[in-house]
Chain A
Amino acid sequence: MLTYIRRRLLLAVPVVLGVSVVVFSIVHLLPGDPVLAILSGANATAEQEAELRAQLRLEEPLTVQYLRFLGRALRGDLGRSIFSRRPVAEEIGEQLPSTLQLAGTAILIAAALGLALGVVAAVRRDTWVDRLAMLIALGGVSMPSFWLGLLLIVVFSLQLGWFPATGHGGVSRLILPAATIGLNYSAVIARLVRSSLLEVLGNGYIATARAKGLAEWLVVLKHALGNALIPVTTIVGVQLGNLLAGTIVVETVFSRQGMGRLAVTAVLDKDYPLIQGVVLVSALGYVLVNLLVDLSYSALDPRIRHREAEDR
């Protein structure tokens, strides 16, 4: 197990490095003068333009700039945002907790709802229960998050007054935005759980378990579900990785802090240090989640666990 983890971590390093190179190059190879882009619409004087140019040190060769960026990043210094003058690490540190809370809660809602719908649909396949569950899933994925979020605000905040619509802090402010994302994402999970479970339920050892006289729910939940969940965890991992990069639409509609708004503002402002920092942190998040997903395979499927043991 440990060699497995160590190996995956080592493989993660070139991935993150590669991302940093790509993001650095893109941002610096964009057409147009970056200084003029930063200053556009700002009514800046010629002196301010010259100062910004000198400060950004953009005339140096790209490799030198990249190595400087990398050296600082390894020490935790991601530079300073051009617009707020604050350390990028601090800016990210402020927005990250809100995104983590939202991502975690949303994934829980999505997984719970998706599992419930998927299991019910698989066990009662081809009945009206199945069709209804899949219809609900289709509805969930078809509703644009922008529209769904506003709808939830109008119903649950404006008309019923159950939850506040905006802000951060506290569970009540988390429910509506997490539900918006959760409903969207649950659809994919539901369909995948259903098809995966159906496939597993067709296996020989399931027939054996049934023949032994085990109750159906025990067969499904104990023997079948574990194996069925492997492709599902992959998808959930991808979704979680996406959410860690921020959800600009939900953050805007619900006026929440988050990495989405930070990233979009940085890109629109052409705030290079901030863009680089945000992409790097998001990439790290993705890598971490993927590692956790890989590890979960061994926990879910005993065959994988034992195969690893045999490899040694």
Chain B
Amino acid sequence: MSKRCVLVVLAGLLIAVLLPPGGGAVGQTKGGKILFAARQDIDTLDPHITNRAATRKILIQFLDTLTVINPPDGKVTPGLAESWDVAKDGKSYTFKLRRGVKFHDGTPFDASAVKFTFDRIQEPLGAPGVARSFLGPYDGADVVDPLTVRVRFKQPYAPFLRMAALSPLGPVSPAAVKKAGQDFGRAPVGTGAFMVKEWVPKSHVTLVRNPDYNWAPAIAKHKGPAYAEEIVWRFVPEPTTRTAILQTGEVNIAEDLSYADVAGFEKNPDVRILRGVPAGTPWAIYPNVTRFPTSEPAVRRALHHAISKDAIVRVVFDGQSKPALALLQPTTPGAAPLAGELFPYDPARARKILDDAGWKPGADGIRAKDGKRLLLTWIFGTNNGYEEMAPLVQGMAREVGIDVQLREQPRAQMYEGWRKNENNVGELNWWFPDPSILTTNFHTSRLQAFNPPRLSDPEIDKLLDQAAASEEGPRLELYRKIQRMLLEMGAGIPLVDQVTIVGVRKEVRDYAFNVVTFPVLYDVHLAR
């Protein structure tokens, strides 16, 4: 060969070696293990049985959903369904499914799998899973052709596109369900970027990369299989332990760090703190509108004016969050931040409202009317998150002459207390991608289950029902109107926005929150 030939060949080899491998967006480092420290233990891995957020954080790693919510704008985008049509009467949705998708057991994903999944949710599975209530007034599904499925409802169900983005409604493999029977919850099969390898109860769940994954949703940062080869999801209930093992590197991601530890981490060069604001409802209290004395609107309004939300943020949350201005989290579509203008912190105004309503201060500073003390009973739930806020609110209420009596009970008894009307103050907060959560908190039909203010207002009910059946634009307007009415009548007092705090070690890149701040580990890659 001539010298020039050799040079050309060498140059060609050099270029070939230096060019990044083809395919895929950028050549991110593949491989590595994600070691995740989770706060709560799970009950099952079966999406149709579970009712815990802890389980759903794992479900999203191995299940895909028909639609996906884009966190920045809250819009519904394609997932396993490429496109969809909503019937004029709002009672049926026709989805065109993506081609070439397979379950982890090799069986194809198609319209009959979607129908099987939704039908299974309706079966009595013996445990109270959230999937059933997410599916709403489901009336059956029809397989139009292998890639087209029509889902029907008994009445118009506007939230369905958002509900279809939630993991409990993620399609599961019919073949795997039939084979595993009751044990499907140990070895579930979906279409996600990771596959469940094993679940050691109370210890950890191991997931491995799905090498055939090629159908990432449009909003993901890359296509093709996940970068990480394995996820070890460990249950570490003690927050101090989570902090410690994040520092030693025993895990590289730790969720729900205690607020006090965050300051320490800000100074640690090996760890980054990520904050997410989930959609849903904020930390809030709900005065019982049927029980004396919170049955008086004046008392409810005075209570709202008496609470300094900034103080709660400072003392309880160590400055890591913000005062809540709406009955919905700011990242929920349709949130109406009116509490700041309607009920600013103003103890003087609170006192005037109570004076005008005939509540006169007694010798000990607590007001009374017609011989009855202004006494509120607040039964707060164990580990429900309000343990530190309650005494603070009690102190602030006392300043304006309201006596708040605190009692603690396990959550189950607290809910019973609501039903038996023993409580003047209810407490509840949700992670939820849709404003229809207001129905759960304020509709008469939910008195048995939730509805902490025990509200039974026909006009509110009518507006909530109307919103559930309307299209997106008018629906959100209706929810804003409902929130204004609810705030003005004092049916809810938002306190502080929920914030999710996650610590990641510096080698973990592209960690993302979904719309309710569950961890999206698909795009995560570990730098060397």
Contact = CB atoms under 8 A, between A and B. Distances in A.
Interface stretch (A1-9, A164-172, A208-216, A229-237): A164-172
A165 B237 CA distance: 13
A158 B248 contact: yes
Nearest to A146: B238
Given A150-B244, A268-B410, 11 more contacts: A32-B413, A43-B449, A48-B132, A52-B127, A86-B183, A252-B238, A253-B238, A254-B241, A255-B238, A258-B202, A262-B202
Contact of B244 (A39, A82, A165, A265): A165
Contacts of A44: 51, 128, 132-133, 449
A55 to B, nearest CB: 5
Contact of A158 (B126, B128, B129, B244): B244
B203 A85 contact: no
Contacts of B127: 52, 82-83, 85
B182 interface: yes
Q: In the complex, which of the residues A36, A41, A86, A150 has the most CB atoms of chain B within 10 Å of its own CB atom?
A: A41
The 4 closest A-B pairs by CB, nearest first: A44-B128, A42-B128, A51-B124, A40-B415
A161 interface: yes
A17 interface: no
A195 interface: no
Contacts of B413: 32
A45 B450 CA distance: 12
A298 interface: no
B186 interface: yes
Interface in B225-255: 234-238, 240-241, 244-245, 247-248, 250
Interface stretch (B41-49, B273-281, B392-400): B41-49
B2 to A, nearest CB: 61
A77 interface: no
B234 A167 contact: yes
A63 interface: no
Q: In the complex, which of the residues A37, A83, A166 has the most CB atoms of chain B within 10 Å of its own CB atom?
A: A166
B362 to A, nearest CB: 35
A269 B50 CA distance: 13
B416 A161 contact: no
A5 to B, nearest CB: 35
A85 B250 contact: no
A254 B240 CA distance: 10
B201 A257 contact: yes
Contact of B236 (A84, A166, A268): A166
B30 interface: no
B199 to A, nearest CB: 10
B44 A167 contact: no
Contacts of B237: 252, 255
Contacts of A270: 412
B134 to A, nearest CB: 9
B411 A40 contact: yes
A175 interface: no
Interface string A31-66: 010001111111111011101100100000000000
B378 to A, nearest CB: 18
Contacts of B250: 157, 164-166
Interface string B197-234: 00011111000000000000000000000000000001
A154 interface: yes
A130 interface: no
A261 interface: yes
Given A44-B128, A45-B132, A84 B43 contact: yes
Contacts of A85: 44, 46, 49, 125-127, 182, 185
B33 to A, nearest CB: 14
A262 to B, nearest CB: 7
Contacts of B466: none
B128 A48 contact: yes
Interface residues of B, number: 46
Interface in A8-36: 32, 36
Interface string B115-129: 000000000111111
B450 A95 contact: no
Contacts of B203: 167-168, 255-257
Nearest to A34: B412
A41 B415 contact: yes
B236 A255 contact: yes
B244 to A, nearest CB: 5
Contacts of A308: none
25 contacts: A32-B413, A38-B128, A41-B415, A43-B128, A43-B130, A43-B133, A43-B450, A44-B128, A84-B44, A85-B46, A86-B183, A95-B201, A150-B240, A153-B241, A157-B250, A158-B244, A165-B245, A165-B248, A166-B236, A166-B245, A167-B203, A252-B238, A253-B240, A255-B203, A262-B202
Nearest to B183: A86
A43 B201 contact: no
Contacts of A95: 201-202
Interface in B75-120: none
A94 interface: yes
A91 interface: yes
A51 B201 contact: no
B440 interface: yes
Q: In the complex, which of the residues B125, B129, B133, B202 has the most CB atoms of chain A within 10 Å of its own CB atom?
A: B202
A112 B126 CA distance: 49
Nearest to B440: A43
A42 B200 CA distance: 24
Given A41-B411, A84-B43, A158-B244, A166 B182 contact: no
Interface string A91-104: 10011000000000
B245 to A, nearest CB: 5
A51 B125 CA distance: 9
A29 B124 CA distance: 27
Interface in A125-153: 150, 153
B202 A257 contact: yes
Given A161-B248, A255-B235, A166 B241 contact: yes
A158 B130 CA distance: 40
Q: In the complex, which of the residues A37, A40, A268, A269 has the most CB atoms of chain B within 10 Å of its own CB atom?
A: A40
Contacts of A164: 248, 250
A41 B448 CA distance: 11
A157 B51 CA distance: 35
A57 to B, nearest CB: 12
A154 B44 CA distance: 32
Contacts of A254: 241
Contacts of A36: 415-416, 419
A38 B51 CA distance: 11
Nearest to B410: A268
A85 B45 CA distance: 11
A40 B384 CA distance: 13
A143 B360 CA distance: 50
Q: In the complex, which of the residues B128, B130, B186, B238 has the most CB atoms of chain A within 10 Å of its own CB atom?
A: B128
